[in-house]
Structure 1
């Protein structure tokens, strides 16, 4: 047919892991006590293995899809965009051009072994960092001055700590809170239903929970601090790194302007460390969402599909900016409080891995038919 392809995307690179931090060798694939252990098992080698295994299975079965299926296993997701998806889009767009993509960024959640929801990542916040820097002529510490680079920077950081960006919901986060309100109880359930209608009091209460606060607004937080050059010298410079996670609807320039306004101090320089372009959420298109919901209900009756906005970032950013909607969906379930991606003893439960294998086998067939 003339239908554009589906892109199945996974990255093969992983973050650092130190042997002394793990109970097992992080770079030796290990099966133990019902889990697969190793750096990258959940982020993102499980999906890479599943896509390839299912592609081989389709081929052996002689199945011919009505639209092409492209599998891209890429590098540099964890460390940058030098040789990964961004490079492919710039240099070889034709190889990965698609109607939409399935990528990491979703997955199911368990609570004490019970399936709560199957998440679909349709949006994500964008990583932007700024350097805050103050300067002073310094001097000998035995003769303190009323102006001090460290104190001036500290005052600015305290202002930023108290500042909150406004609440802004998009199609994805509004759907998330609406659907989560049916799974929660009491005041939390009521607030989730109300915040999607613009209730400021509900938003204020939900903001007291860090993860909900991060879903509702752009956030900026101090992550690094440096200053001075000697114990017995007044500091000539103080520097802080502010890491921001920007909502898709906000621009990085607007975020920087807000920081400058909050600081209200021309003595604090605010400069870019890196700058990224936010991407619009992928539409919750029925042509994609209905098959996901249908296959989810076939595998796990009664388990809802939950649209998600990731507070971190993935390669879906580049696809969305290139006009390729991207959806994080895997059917790979994990306990709510046992996320080990990037952490110690990263692992995937073996039964959940094989459920995901079969789920994606059926889903991709459905989407390509």
Structure 2
């Protein structure tokens, strides 16, 4: 659109470089490319103007300078002067839309048009307005009619560009997924009702039918697309599967996580050809469900500079899963939870023997001691690491 032929913008004795730059930016927004300056107060080129143009370099870099207004409009055959004040001159006064219509027709016939904009402080002088063929004024509050220079340029540019491009917008509403068919909606609804029945949502029984009608009407009003139905179906299934416990995405609280560890210890560590995958699965399960003491110690280990991010939590070492392990320091940390039975203690003992046989130093900490005095627990780990 930069090559779209348009009217020339002429700023008469502009005072601030920033205003020139912002006017150039407004021109760029609406495809106007030719900017002429008549005796800019602070000279030209202007670094403030370049900065304020915000990328409209194709306009700023090709500005034309003139010493007089007559020289600036010498090659034009239709000139509009913008003014917020009446000048009592016998020439047509039009709004920006009407000016755009006339300029579009004039330019289309091979003519050349320009628009005059005056100084920031007091606009155009009467003798400068006299050199124009038309006066353009804006429908603004008469009690506060003064516009910023760039705002005036923008209003004219907007009306001209809207007309020249037939109001075409730069982007449209993105294409939607096709509308969902009744068969897809009914299949989703049947699945939703099955899951709601499992949690006894549709009760009391005497209100079941009206509740189903209301639910169905919700989706009818939505006019969902096929993609909408895929998303909703995924949401319902994710919520339903989350009900089945931590292996399906649920997360236990601290007490539940402690019971989970006791159960796994009593069952024993998987062995045999499939043990590798099983151990990794158990490690993921344990990482997702920390006990209260484990959560507190893990946060402290990551924050303490002595350990420098060396520890990993619930990471397999062979077929064993210590609570924490540092491979670089060959150190493992085991937590003892309250109320553990003999089977759990035996399992931990076997794991400790296995690790120590392979050069690991094992630190055993009581969960209650961690919750009571966390800094002391960190000191114990540091002392073992330094050996």
TM bracket, shorter-chain basis: under 0.3
Bigger RCO of structures 1 and 2 (CA < 8 A, at least 6 apart): 1
Larger strand proportion of the pair: 1
Question: So what's the TM-score if we normalise by structure 1?
Answer: 0.22
Question: So what's the TM-score if we normalise by structure 2?
Answer: 0.22
